[in-house]
């Protein structure tokens, strides 16, 4: 192993006991095929592969920062959360932007411990020239602090004409993306000269690598694509690291350990497969058959495996569904259950337009105000839901939930599917106007509370 890694790992024990425990589970391996470094999981544990010459031009502090960066990818479960069918290069760029920005914004407290002066703590440093979340993203999102990478990805995708030049070359290596934005000095030593970051496929389609305008590889990790079959292995490894850290008083005092341990319990992949299937089956049954058409340009995958090329079905226009969330004071759905439910709903974005409404004693259209939703002053059909908006849903002061305004007035004469997220405490169920295109989504422990005279009931599990 390169001598610098020995020094980095030795100093990590003093800087951050939690990060040190993490890298005690990692096998370091030289690999000339990797231009920089890459941390990934195997069936037996984590492996960090690195080019033998890569550490030569970087300081011990910069190498330590890169190890912290790679660890955060694993802890935040970035690979598992990758959105299928979306721009892979742009997703990886957004993930790196978010982690780099988080490390820089928290550079003074990342390795800190409770009860100690921040001035006595070591700061996190990263090499020059790595991508940050663009300033314009914050400006257009109300200065929002610590965004998710999914939110940054959606912004980058929506601003391709202004920020990104996408060139398709199917005969070569797919798609290259040039991102032009300000690249701050990460190590605060000298200003980076290049103002262009290129995300490109590495070794055809093995992973993603970042380069600057002169095609020089940036000192950033290569993102290899991992198999989802390793998800359980990675979860087990993370639990093992947490269990080691829990026994160490110094580790438990670290702010990093306290934040990461709560993130793991919150972001661990939710087992929503059954709910996912229920929702998609419900939507297929509810959507009007007259709105579908057949086309030979899209084959029917059901028969393709048998060698039969049959026309596939497509929707003539983007279908819409309404999601009504109970926000009354008696609402008992936990945030993690709400996150699971909207995890399924967010998987439908792009294919469906999701309209969000809130309900307590009345139906109201939500409007963002700070970190919560309030009732919009101007009424419209609904609020168009965007990824991550579930975080703004908070319960109100009203204790009762009355669904009469929803079914008797708001959904009157509508045909689109309706998903109602509630805990089942419904006081006027027997007086509601039936709306058969309804799916009641409840926490598993609340499913037995209601037996609605219309619609279906599904557990968010």
Query: Which tens digit of pLDDT belongs to each residue from 138-159?
Result: 777 765 566 788 888 888 888 7
Cβ count near 224 (within 10 Å): 18
| C-alpha to C-alpha distances, 130 to 33, 178, 179, nearest whole angstrom | 22, 14, 12
Do 400 and 328 contact (CB within 8 A), yes or no?
yes
Total number of domains in the chain: 2
Identify the pLDDT of residue 249.
Answer: 85
The verdict on 279 and 240 lying in the same domain is: no
Q: Quote the pLDDT of residue 167.
A: 24
CA-wise closest residue to 321 among 342, 338, 303: 342
CB of 153 closer than 8 Å to CB of 101: no
Residues of the chain with pLDDT under 50: 162-195, 266-273, 289-290
pLDDT of residue 303: 54
Q: Which of 267, 293, 314 is the last residue before a domain boundary? A: 267
- Last residue in a domain, options 267, 295, 322: 267
Q: Return the SS3 of 306.
A: coil
The pLDDT value given to residue 60: 93
161 plus 49 within the same structural domain: yes
Give the per-residue pLDDT at 271. Answer: 42
- Name all contacts of 248-252 with Cβ < 8 Å and 24+ positions apart: 248/17, 248/21, 250/17, 250/113, 251/17, 251/18, 251/21
Contacts of 145 (CB under 8 A, 6+ apart): 105
* pLDDT of the residue at 379: 64
Does 170 share its domain with 38?
yes
Domain boundary among 267, 288, 304: 267
Q: What does the pLDDT read at residue 385?
A: 93
pLDDT at position 43: 81
| The model scores a pTM over 0.85 | no
Q: Are residues 215 and 340 in the same domain?
A: no
Write down the pLDDT at residue 261. Answer: 67
Residue 43, classified by CB atoms within 10 Å of its CB into exposed (0-12), middle (13-18) or buried (19+), is exposed
CA distance 416 to 435: 10
Give the domain extent around 178.
3-267
Please check whether residues 243 and 324 belong to one and the same domain: no
Task: Give yes or no: residues 72 and 170 share one domain.
Answer: yes
pLDDT of residue 187: 34
Same domain flag for 26 and 150: yes
Q: Are residue 48 and residue 189 in the same domain, yes or no?
A: yes
Specify the pLDDT at position 55.
93
Name every residue whose Cβ is closer than 8 Å to that of residue 292 and which is 6 or more positions away in sequence. Answer: 313, 314, 315, 316
My answer on whether 66 and 28 are in the same domain is yes
Q: How high is the pLDDT of residue 26?
A: 92
Element (H, E) at 214: none
Beta bridge partners, 199, equal: 177, 210
pLDDT of residue 27: 93
Question: Tokens for 95?
Answer: 């993930």
CA dihedral 327, 328, 332, 337 (to 10 degrees): -10
Q: What was the pLDDT predicted at 165?
A: 31
Q: What angle do CA 127, 132, 133 make, to 5 degrees?
A: 170
What is the number of other CB atoms lying within 10 angstroms of the CB of residue 7?
A: 14
Where are the alpha helices (H) located in 287-396, listed in sequence order?
A: 301-304, 335-346
Residues 238 and 282 in one domain: no
Q: With contact defined as beta carbons under 8 Å apart, do 376 and 282 qualify?
A: no
Let me know whether 168 and 293 are in one domain: no
Residue 66 is predicted with a pLDDT of 92
The Cα–Cα gap between 177 and 197 comes to 8
pLDDT for 213 equals: 59
Residues 113 and 143 in one domain: yes
């Amino acid at each position: 192993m390169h001598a610098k890694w020995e020094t980095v790992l030795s100093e990590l024990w003093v800087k951050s006991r939690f990060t040190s425990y993490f890298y005690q589970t990692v096998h370091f391996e030289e690999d000339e095929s990797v231009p920089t470094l890459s941390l990934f999981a195997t069936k037996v544990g984590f492996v960090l592969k690195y080019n033998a010459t890569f550490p030569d031009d970087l300081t011990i502090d910069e190498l330590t920062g890169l190890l912290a960066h790679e660890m955060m990818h694993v802890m935040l479960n970035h690979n598992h959360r990758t959105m299928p069918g979306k721009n892979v290069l742009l997703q990886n760029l957004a993930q790196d932007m978010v982690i780099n920005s988080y490390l820089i914004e928290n550079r003074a407290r990342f390795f800190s411990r409770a009860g100690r002066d921040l001035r006595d703590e070591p700061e996190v440093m990263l090499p020059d020239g790595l991508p940050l979340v663009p300033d314009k993203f914050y400006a257009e999102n109300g200065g929002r602090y610590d965004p998710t990478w999914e939110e940054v990805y959606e912004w980058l995708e929506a601003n391709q004409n202004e920020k990104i030049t996408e060139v398709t070359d199917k005969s070569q290596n797919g798609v290259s993306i040039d991102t032009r934005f300000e690249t701050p000095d990460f190590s605060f030593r000298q200003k980076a000269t290049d103002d262009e970051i290129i995300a490109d496929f590495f070794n055809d389609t093995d992973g993603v690598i970042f380069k600057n305008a002169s095609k020089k590889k940036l000192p950033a990790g290569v993102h290899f694509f991992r198999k989802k079959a390793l998800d359980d292995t990675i979860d087990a490894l993370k639990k093992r690291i947490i269990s080691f850290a829990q026994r160490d008083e110094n580790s438990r005092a670290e702010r990093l350990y306290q934040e990461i341990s709560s993130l793991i319990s919150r972001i661990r992949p939710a087992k929503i497969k059954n709910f996912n299937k229920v929702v998609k089956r419900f939507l297929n049954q509810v959507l009007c058959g007259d709105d579908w058409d057949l086309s030979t340009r899209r084959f029917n995958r059901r028969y393709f495996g048998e060698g039969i090329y049959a026309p596939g079905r497509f929707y003539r226009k983007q279908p819409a569904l309404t999601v009504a969330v109970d926000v009354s004071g008696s609402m008992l759905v936990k945030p993690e259950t709400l996150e699971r439910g909207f995890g399924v709903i967010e998987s439908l974005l792009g294919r469906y337009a999701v309209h969000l409404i809130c309900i307590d004693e009345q139906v109201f259209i939500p409007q963002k105000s700070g970190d919560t939703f309030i009732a919009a002053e101007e009424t419209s059909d609904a609020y168009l839901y965007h990824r991550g908006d579930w975080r703004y849903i908070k319960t109100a002061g009203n204790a009762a939930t009355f669904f009469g305004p929803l079914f008797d007035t708001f959904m009157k004469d509508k045909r689109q599917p309706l998903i109602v997220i509630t805990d089942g405490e419904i006081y006027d169920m027997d007086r509601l106007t039936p709306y058969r295109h309804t799916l009641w989504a409840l926490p598993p422990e609340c499913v037995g509370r209601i037996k609605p005279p219309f619609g279906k009931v599904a557990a968010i599990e």
